[in-house]
Amino acid sequence: MFTTIKIIFILATAMTLGITSLNAGENVKSGFGTMSIKGLVQFWYEHDNVRSPKDFFRIRRTEIRLSGTINPIVAWTVMIDPATIREDNLRNSLLQDAQIILTPFENWTISAGQFIFPFGLEGLMSSARLDFAERSMLTTKLNWANFRDIGFTIRHNIKLAGIEIQPTIGLLNGERLNRWDLNESMDFIGRLVVSPTEHLHFAVAHYNGWAGANETRSLWSGVELMFTQDKFTVYGEFAAGKNAGININNFYLSGTYNFFKNLQLALRYDYLDHNSDTPLNAVTEKTIGLNYFIEGHNSKLQLNYIFRGEEGTSINNDGIRFNLQTAF
Ligand SMILES: [Ca+2]
Ligand SMILES: [Ca+2]
């Protein structure tokens, strides 16, 4: 395992030295209106004590995002990720986002199509800008955040006495991405963001849905808080709710500290109770991470060690994640 890590770092260093500066991108010519292309490529090495094989390489993401504007009122985005087909054998479409964005009046935004619906803080952060290789259990275990579905949202931006307030509500099928609706119900999502200063972000969110032909109940709420100051960032989320009648709760607290020119230390404590009415089924993930920015988030290395803990019988299931990424 450590030989593998050594090889990865030699490779990564070689790649760093080989990078030459690129010209600032000019807009791509579009059939109509303006268009730009963005992308994200992530190469991973992962060590997981409970997987077989324990050590493996992954292409975690190969996002290609086209977006543009038709006029000041109409904009659009199409994003595909061919790696998702390889990563998830239940997937048979590489379509991620297909979004039409309307701004009919100043400070009012309507998004329609398939995209990430607004729940949680980290779930809405760009995958290229994450402080850790992987998001917290709110996304990875519960799928309560960072999920795509088909529907629409309406967002309003308000500024009151210097305080930015941003309510969003939406309706969605509730069957997640690239799928037909399976029932008569529409799911509801709502989120309210309040930013008193540029350093402080606070939000609450709520999801109310019925999934599948059996209309399995999904009902959960979340609170998020983020504080940034120079070299420090601290943020956390708490979410609780019901999945198919089972009470679940989850919270995490993350912090980052920037040091030297392009290094960052990242720490996260993540707790998930799969059933808050019964004992011995809560789990924790403590992650210690080191980020090395070759060129900000456009090219960086992330090394994470994940200490996994169990409320019940302890399992030897710690893990290592290494991410080498470029975003353009
Ligand atoms: Ca539905
Ligand atoms: Ca429990």
CA of 315 to the centre of ligand 2 (A): 17
What integer is the mean pLDDT of 307-322?
94
23 domain-assigned: no
How far apart, in whole angstroms, are the C-alpha atoms of residue 146 and residue 245?
22
In the chain, % of residues over pLDDT 70: 92
Task: Express each pLDDT in 236-264 by its tens digit.
Answer: 999 999 999 999 999 999 999 999 999 99
Identify the nearest ligand to the CA of 185 by its number.
1
Find the 175 Cα to ligand 2 centroid distance in Å: 27
Q: pLDDT (tens digit, 9 = 90+) per residue, 133-164?
A: 999 999 999 999 999 999 999 999 999 999 99
Nearest ligand, CA of residue 217?
Answer: 1
Proportion of the chain above pLDDT 90, given as a percent: 87
Domain that holds residue 41: 2-17+31-327
**pLDDT surpasses 90 at 16:** no
**CA 276 – ligand 2 centroid, Å:** 4
Q: What is the number of other CB atoms lying within 10 angstroms of the CB of residue 278?
A: 11
What does the pLDDT read at residue 3?
53
Which ligand lies nearest the alpha carbon of 279? 2
Closest CA to 139 of 123, 119, 116: 123
Q: Which ligand is nearest to the CA of 247?
A: 2
Which ligand has the shortest distance to the CA of 275? 2
How far away, in angstroms, is 247 Cα from ligand 2 center? 9
The confidence score (pLDDT) of residue 6 equals 54
Rounded to the nearest angstrom, the distance between the alpha carbon of 284 and the centre of ligand 2 is: 12
| pLDDT reported for residue 88 | 80
- Mean pLDDT of the region 212-223: 97
CA 277 to ligand 2 centroid distance, Å: 6
> Which CATH number fits the domain that encloses residue 66?
2.40.160.10
How many structural domains compose the chain?
A: 1
Q: Which ligand is nearest to the CA of 150?
A: 1
Q: Which ligand is nearest to the CA of 218?
A: 1
Domain contains 148: yes
The reply to whether 56 falls in a domain is: yes
Q: What is the model's pLDDT at position 26?
A: 59
- Residue bearing the bigger pLDDT, 314 or 272: 272
Q: Is residue 305 part of a domain?
A: yes
Structure confidence by residue, pLDDT tens digits, 122-136? 999 999 999 999 999
Residue 15 pLDDT > 50, yes or no?
no
70 Cα: distance to centroid of ligand 1 (angstroms)? 31
Domain assignment of residue 22, yes or no: no
Could you say which ligand is closest to the alpha carbon of residue 271? Answer: 2
| Residue 91 in domain | yes
Q: Does pTM surpass 0.85?
A: yes
Residue 140 inside a domain? The answer is yes
Neighbours of ion ligand 1 (CB under 5 A): 173-174, 181, 183, 185
**CB-CB contact of 235 with 195 (8 Å):** no
Within a domain: 308: yes
What pairing do the DSSP bridges indicate for beta strands 232-243 and 55-69? unpaired
